[in-house]
Amino acid sequence: MSAAAAVRSFDHTGDVGFEVVAADLPALFDGARRAVLAELMTRPPRGGDERLALELEAHGLERLLLRWLDEVLFLVQTRARVPTGGRPRLRPAGSADGSWRLDAELTLTPLDPVAHGWRGEVKAATYHGLELARDGEHWRARVVLDV
């Protein structure tokens, strides 16, 4: 297992964003999950005893990253469940169109807005300024969230 991703927030006109750098794609996607949670709450929880199997597919890694982040937002904001763990697994979908698959067994815990320091709703991860690319030995992503 590789080291955790490095995450850095940045300001964006009317929105918020973050950059993630990781040694591999699973760590990058997990770092992005953690970054979204940090934008939603000041004290994201750890642990949890609920499990959820998640499978996503999208054309291209950028779209898959947005689907992943939108799923995290959906779980928190609609189902009141915080995905506290569950490293995603990524692989090409096997088709020639550049599709990718993501599978994860997420660990969930109930959202407690007071205990977790709820900051407010994030509408979606956006295509605006979206970047995801290999940079030497690392993967980098830049994401803007619509708040």
Residue 31, Cα to own-chain centre: how many angstroms? 7
User: In the chain, what are the domains?
Assistant: 6-146 (3.55.10.10)
pLDDT of residue 18: 94
pLDDT of residue 79: 96
User: H/E/C letters for each residue in the chain?
Assistant: CCCCCEEEEEEECCEEEEEEEECCHHHHHHHHHHHHHHHHECCCCCCCCEEEEEEEEEECHHHHHHHHHHHHHHHHHCCCEEEEECCCEEEECCCCCCEEEEEEEEEEEECCCCCCCECCCCCEEEEEEEEEEEECCEEEEEEEEEC
Instruction: Match 């996503």 to its residue by tokens.
Output: 56
Return per-residue pLDDT of the chain as tens, 147 residues: 446 788 777 766 668 899 999 999 999 999 999 999 999 999 999 999 999 999 999 999 999 999 999 999 999 999 999 999 988 999 999 877 889 999 999 999 999 999 999 998 899 999 999 999 999 999 999 999 998
